[in-house]
Amino acid sequence: MSGGSYYVPESSKWPALGSLAVGIMMAGLGTLLVYGRGALVMTLGMVAVLSVMFLWFRDVVRESRQGLYDDQMDRSFRWGMGWFIFSEVMFFAAFFGALFYVRTFAVPWLDGEGAKGVAALLWPDFTASWPLMNPPDAGISGPRESVSPWQLPLANTLFLVSSSITLTIAHEALKEGYRRTARNWLIGTLVLGISFLVVQGFEYYEAYAHLGLTLEAGIYGSTFFLLTGFHGLHVTIGAITLAVMLGRIIKGHFTRDDHFAFEAASWYWHFVDVVWIGLFLFVYVF
């Protein structure tokens, strides 16, 4: 409970500037998508968003270093990060839900199965399968091949699962006060994370160049890129966060029992890892 030391910042320009920056970015993105121009505005907005984030977090780090945060503030951060990750879980739940719905209901129904089999009247020649190689309408050409789970995705699974292990070792080392060990295992984690992203990029290239698997290739391509794409984005965010933690460890931040930023980043990384397990099972294997 509060001992009257709960830190309330007097005022800050980052929230308002951040909102403005998000607005500029969104307006630019919209103009780019709808009218094919506005890339410059969008880029400016994005740079502004990232700058505000950097400056805002810098303030928070400084306040933390000055000892302005008490235990109660620490718990606020924990609740905040925990619920934020829960919101991310629900974001992915929407995408997994869409995948399961399509696989279990929509595609079989289009083939005449079940209570809504009348939908088969739309495309009588359609045969259901998953991965869906032949979308119902001839106007949409499906992929030539699906992605084999036992090559690049398996490698990526190994990368991410072992990165969670190395990160835990780094965390344990930090708690024991072995800063060099923590640093080295964190570097290892980052290398694994970046390897994942490189492999993912290569897989996307293969999909587009050789498999005919694109966003336009019907529902299989749609769900494939939606799920793996947003996951990849989250790996990127997680890797950037871990990189910041690496920088802070090198600069001498964090103590054995006060390093919540590091913990938050590792919570996030483990979350991203768990999502990948779901992806590997339901997007690639089954």
Residues 244-263 that bind another protein (CB under 8 A): 255, 257-258
Maximum C-alpha span of the chain: 72
Q: Report which of 202, 199, 201 is spatially closest to residue 191, judged by C-alpha positions.
A: 199
Q: Rule CB under 8 A: which of 130-149 touch another protein?
A: 132, 135-137, 139-140
Smallest distance, Å, CB 233 to another protein?
Answer: 11
d(CA 160, CA 198) in angstroms, rounded, equals 12
Tokens of 181: 């060990």
Q: Report which of 78, 129, 130 is spatially closest to residue 285, judged by C-alpha positions.
A: 130
| 119 lies in the site for another protein, by CB under 8 A | yes
Q: Report which of 157, 110, 104, 117 is spatially closest to residue 135, judged by C-alpha positions.
A: 110
DSSP state of 146: P
| 5 lies in the site for another protein, by CB under 8 A | yes
Q: Rule CB under 8 A: which of 206-225 touch another protein?
A: 215-216, 218-223, 225
| 104 lies in the site for another protein, by CB under 8 A | no
| 181 lies in the site for another protein, by CB under 8 A | no
Smallest distance, Å, CB 254 to another protein?
Answer: 11
d(CA 217, CA 140) in angstroms, rounded, equals 6
| 105 lies in the site for another protein, by CB under 8 A | yes
Nearer to another protein, 55 or 244 (CB): 55
Instruction: Report the residue from 39, 40, 54, 72 that binds another protein according to the rule CB under 8 A.
Output: 72
